[in-house]
């Protein structure tokens, strides 16, 4: 079995949603400056890099990330390649004939550089969320900053996830990952009250 890291490197250059809090690491003591140890702190949106949204991010009475079941974020998954979807939502027809697993990760290639923001990334249609729920899917991941389009205020895909008590992962890096079945491990931090959390998302091959 092999581990495949599907998380972007988080540093000062990583792109965050326009207007959100950028990632900053501050060194408070430094062995390079003669201190006996190095200590640092970070300031960042909780939606930095590969991350999980909590329902409280898009539903006023939704759970915080610390209250979410870890079952959403670990277990059998499938990576699906979806082509020709830049700048639009993904519909059930876009994955017609493809097998699914309880956790589905979508490779769209529409947000190719985590350090360079582009607005025309692919997103999910509510119809796709509904269809995947009917097929037993509990978590949907995508290689873009959001499951909804950049200009969406109604957050239709997020609301569809909420209706079905499904989870999402955003900001994944799936370049070079073959379509197929894996084990997903992408556990969020247990942040009390938080509307999301960064994850260290990895895939484990099954053979």
- Whole-number Å distance between alpha carbons of 44 and 146: 17
Residue pointed to by tokens 């900001």:
171
Q: Is 93 helix (H, G, I), strand (E, B) or coil?
A: helix
**What residues does 197 pair with on adjacent strands?**
52
Single out the catalytic residue among 57, 81, 107, 164.
57
Respond yes or no: is residue 47 known to be catalytic.
no
- Whole-number Å distance between alpha carbons of 83 and 108: 6
Per-residue b or e along 163-186, where b marks 16 or more CB atoms closer than 10 Å to that residue's CB: eeebbbbbbbbbeebeeeebbbbb
Active site residues: 57
């Amino acid at each position: 079995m092999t581990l495949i890291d599907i998380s972007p490197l988080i540093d000062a250059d990583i792109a965050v949603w326009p207007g959100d809090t950028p990632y900053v690491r501050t060194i408070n003591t430094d062995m390079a400056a003669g201190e006996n140890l190095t200590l640092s702190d970070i300031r960042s949106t909780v939606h930095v890099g590969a991350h999980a949204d909590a329902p409280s991010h898009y539903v006023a009475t939704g759970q915080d990330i610390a209250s979410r079941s870890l079952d959403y974020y670990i277990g059998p998954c499938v990576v699906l390649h979806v082509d020709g979807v830049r700048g639009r939502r993904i519909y059930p027809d876009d994955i017609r004939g493809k097998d699914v697993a309880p956790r589905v990760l979508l490779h769209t290639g529409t947000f190719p550089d985590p350090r360079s923001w582009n607005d025309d990334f692919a997103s999910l249609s509510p119809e796709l969320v509904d269809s995947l729920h009917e097929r037993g899917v509990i978590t949907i991941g995508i290689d873009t900053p959001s499951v909804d389009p950049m200009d969406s205020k109604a957050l239709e895909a997020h609301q569809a996830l909420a209706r079905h008590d499904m989870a999402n992962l955003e900001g994944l890096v799936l370049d070079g990952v073959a379509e197929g079945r894996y084990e997903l491990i992408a556990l969020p931090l247990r942040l009390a009250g938080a509307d999301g959390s960064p994850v260290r998302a990895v895939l484990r091959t099954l053979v």
